[in-house]
């Protein structure tokens, strides 16, 4: 079914299908639910204003995931630069942006996984986030990131190896 991005019915359908995935992608890259919401909003506004047609709902979904991923990484990189500049200036050890309240709310596993994800290079992190939180197949991830299925397989594996090492450092043994 052809999808017109600014058609109200199509928009609603695509929103319902894509939101659960893109909010997870945005959240697990930015690690901030409010920022993730802002990014999702921006992605859907861009989708609507673009006034383009997609050959299928899947293609529209892939487009949204790609835009969300890029927006989230742009935010992440900007924030990292700001954090580095602040650390350099204040000479304070602000390794993570957590405060006491957040620590209480967030489970221990979530915190550890976030810390580990935060250390992954963007290329590996994006495939892992799309795989683990987006529940997308290798083929779908390949279409979103414009890489081959085999490349996705290799990147997912590499990300897992690094993640395993990072989790071991946090004394979480997956084996």
Partner 1 sequence: MCYDENVLSAYSDGELDIRLLDEITAHLEICGRCRSIAAKYRKLGELFSVEDNVRKEAFLSSEHTVWNRVQTRIRRERKGTAIPLWRRRLTVPVPVAAGVLLTVCVLCAVLIFSPETFLPDDTSALIAQQIEMDKQSVDLSTDKTLPELEKLVQFLSEQGAAIEVRIELPGSSHFEVIGEPQLIKASDYRKDAAQ
Q: Considering only CA atoms, which of 126, 76, 119, 75 is closest in space to residue 95? A: 119
Q: Which residues between 27 and 56 bind partner 1 (CB under 8 A)?
A: 27, 33, 36-37, 40-41, 44-45, 48-49
Task: Show the tokens assigned to 7.
Answer: 């058609």
Residue 13 contacts by C-beta under 8 Å, 6 or more apart in sequence?
Answer: 3, 57
Nearest approach in angstroms of CB 147 to partner 1 is 15
Residues 6 or more apart whose CB falls under 8 angstroms from that of 162 comprise: 119, 120, 124
| Chain residues 97-136 in contact with partner 1, contact rule CB under 8 A | 106-107, 109-110, 113, 131-133
Among 79, 83, 123, 153, binds partner 1 (CB under 8 A): 153
- Return d(Cα 35, Cα 39) in angstroms, integer: 6
- Where along the sequence are the contacts to partner 1 (CB under 8 A)? 15, 19-20, 23-24, 27, 33, 36-37, 40-41, 44-45, 48-49, 106-107, 109-110, 113, 131-133, 137-138, 153-154, 156-157, 160-161, 163-164, 167, 172, 174-175
């Amino acid at each position: 079914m052809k999808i017109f991005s600014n058609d109200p019915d199509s928009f609603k359908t695509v929103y319902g299908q894509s939101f659960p995935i893109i909010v997870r992608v945005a959240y697990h890259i930015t690690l901030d639910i409010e920022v993730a919401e802002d990014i999702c909003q921006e992605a859907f506004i861009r989708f609507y204003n673009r006034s383009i047609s997609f050959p299928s709902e899947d293609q529209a979904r892939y487009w949204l995931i790609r835009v969300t991923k890029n927006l989230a990484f742009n935010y992440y990189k900007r924030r990292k630069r700001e954090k580095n500049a602040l650390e350099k200036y204040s000479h304070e050890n602000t390794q993570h942006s957590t405060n006491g309240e957040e620590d209480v709310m967030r489970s221990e596993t979530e915190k550890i996984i976030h810390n580990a994800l935060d250390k992954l290079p963007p290329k590996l992190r994006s495939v892992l986030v799309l795989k683990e939180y987006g529940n997308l197949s290798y083929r779908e991830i390949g279409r979103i990131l414009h890489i081959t299925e085999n490349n996705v397989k290799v990147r997912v594996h590499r990300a897992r190896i690094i993640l395993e090492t990072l989790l071991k450092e946090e004394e979480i043994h997956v084996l």
